[in-house]
Amino acid sequence: MAANVQPVLILGAGINGSAIARELVLNSVPVCLVDTADIASGTTSFSSRLIHGGLRYLEYAEFDLVRESLHERTRLLRLAPDFVRPLQLFIPVETRFTGLLQSAKRFLGLRLRKNEKPAPRGLWLVRAGLVLYDLFARDRSFPRHAVHRAADAGVPKVDSSIYRWTCSYYDAQIQSPEQFVVAMLRDAFKAAQENGTQFSVHPYHQAALQGENVSVYRCDDLASGQAKRVEGIPVAKFKPAAIINATGAWVDHTLARLNIDSRRLIGGTKGSHLLTPNQSLRKLLSGGGIYTEAADGRPVFLLPLGEMSLIGTTDLQFEGAPELAVASKSEIDYLLQCANRVFPNLSLSEDDVDLHYSGIRPLPHTQDSTPGSISRKHQLVEHSNSAVPLFSVVGGKLTTCRSLAEEVTAKVLRQLDIQVRSDSRQRIIPSLDSQRDESNDVERIADTALPIEFVRQVIRTQWVTHLSDLVERRLMLLYKEKLTAGCLRHLAQLLADESVISQSDVEAEIDSTVRRLRSHFGKRVIGINV
């Protein structure tokens, strides 16, 4: 352990906060990780679930970001093969030459004229982007991009009356970023045990800063989306060596709660997605994904995800509390229209939507009125007016979580006069499936194939606090087409058996989960009418 170093307090247990915690622990720096909600319950769980270089960032001349993202994509495919897997993407193209002038304007940082209708990106423009993408990737394990005619074999059968060509390339997909975060934290615990470093994780807790000291308190049930501190004896109290504010879309809210005066840092935009079990769409995707344009020029993905297909995303200015973001009817209609334009015989409707979700991107605050042009590159802001060294992470994305963590760790350790001795560049992120030994367990959770003993191990080792944690983020049951009341009751009873909740709270947990699934995700539980 670094000599005489107090723990670094990390606020936010999403993809970035957890990656930073792991990187610090690898350098034998003690860490206390705190989140007012569950692990990975914010923006991390509401993304498009892609590990990608950001093809469209090339249009905004963000070459460094694309290069970094592509290198990290390659690294994650090697280090986390149980979570990150290759995905072939197809881009339907309407014309040969259109979009060149508007793309040049974006590249030069010029705004389109007011009321200027976006032109579809033509074949020349798409191919130019894909050539650069291949060059920046330098990844020989992936095939280079290709151009296909609409009738070619193995190519999704998009509307040939609109799309004359289809370009294909490879990126990667992470179906369960929530479980990826848990795996990183479990690996951090392993590293902490190996090098004798203090490491603690506190979901559903809140940190209060008093001068140079921090107290960590438990929060009450967050079904309402509002964190309320439970007064009493704190579970931890210490003088942190530094504080890292990695709360994503909540960065400004967190600074205000810590009484830190700061300019506005976050200007997040709302991104909504929907999932459909429609098997016709799944068959049309041919095992890959579609990367298309909506009528307003916004990129939209149609992707396989588990048993269903994911369609997303929107990009709207948002000023409300991030935890209250919910996909609107107009956003759902927008996404359905995009899918139906690509596949006109599909005729998707709201009846085909099993669930929807919406999250706020933690983008930097800017005066730019065009959400798509806001930079996706992360920033680290130091607050010199804090009694404790305090840094806020602005931006960041799933793909670059590891490199962001490495950068933040290097800066914080310089502040603490500690030398960087280790990094995660070659460290495998182990699978969570090692917990799933089905050889001696024939009992299953009601209406699922989940072994009971496996679920018990998840509850014991993955920081589960509420039934919603299991349903939404540990067992990923939210993304199963048929979620039943019997399953919820069985899981809630296991939580009581494991003393995570009291027996008297079983019914309240079920009720709270059912209502949240309906109001926040539009998800119905079979056997319960709400």
Q: What is the pLDDT of residues 184-196, one digit of tens each?
A: 999 999 999 999 9
Residues in Cβ contact with 256 at an 8 Å cutoff, skipping those fewer than 6 apart = none
- Would residue 105 be called left, alpha or beta, if left means φ above 0 and alpha means ψ between -120 and 50 degrees? alpha
pLDDT band at 369 (very low <50, low <70, confident <90, very high): low
Q: What is the pLDDT of residues 50-74, one digit of tens each?
A: 999 999 999 989 999 999 999 999 9
Strand pairing of 308-312 and 390-394?
unpaired
CA gap 414, 420 in Å, rounded: 8
Question: 113-117, 135-139, 233-237, 469-473: which has the minimum mean pLDDT?
Answer: 113-117
Query: Inter-axis angle of helices 15-26 and 401-415, to 10 degrees?
Result: 50
Higher pLDDT, 440 or 142: 142
Residue 221 pLDDT exceeds 80: no
- One-letter amino acid at 226 equals Q
- One-letter amino acid at 488 equals L
pLDDT at 528: 84
- How far from the centroid of its chain's Cα atoms is residue 290's Cα? 20
Q: What residue spans of 359-448 are helical by DSSP H?
A: 401-415
Cα diameter, the chain: 69
Q: Which two tokens stand for residue 211?
A: 């001068």
CA gap 215, 298 in Å, rounded: 44
Cα dihedral value 321, 185, 182, 16, nearest 10:
40
pLDDT at 293: 92
- One-letter amino acid at 232 equals G
Residue 438 pLDDT exceeds 60: no
Residue 37 pLDDT exceeds 90: yes
Q: Which two tokens stand for residue 275?
A: 């999932």
pLDDT at 446: 94
Residue 390 pLDDT exceeds 80: yes
pLDDT band at 440 (very low <50, low <70, confident <90, very high): low
Q: What are phi and psi of 270, to 5 degrees?
A: -90, 130
CA gap 394, 392 in Å, rounded: 6
Q: First vs last Cα of the chain: how many Å apart?
A: 52
- How far from the centroid of its chain's Cα atoms is residue 475's Cα? 16
Cβ atoms of 39 and 18 within 8 Å: the answer is: yes
Strand pairing of 8-11 and 165-174?
unpaired
Sign of CA dihedral 503, 506, 508, 512: positive
Q: What is the pLDDT of residues 159-182, one digit of tens each?
A: 999 999 999 999 999 999 999 999
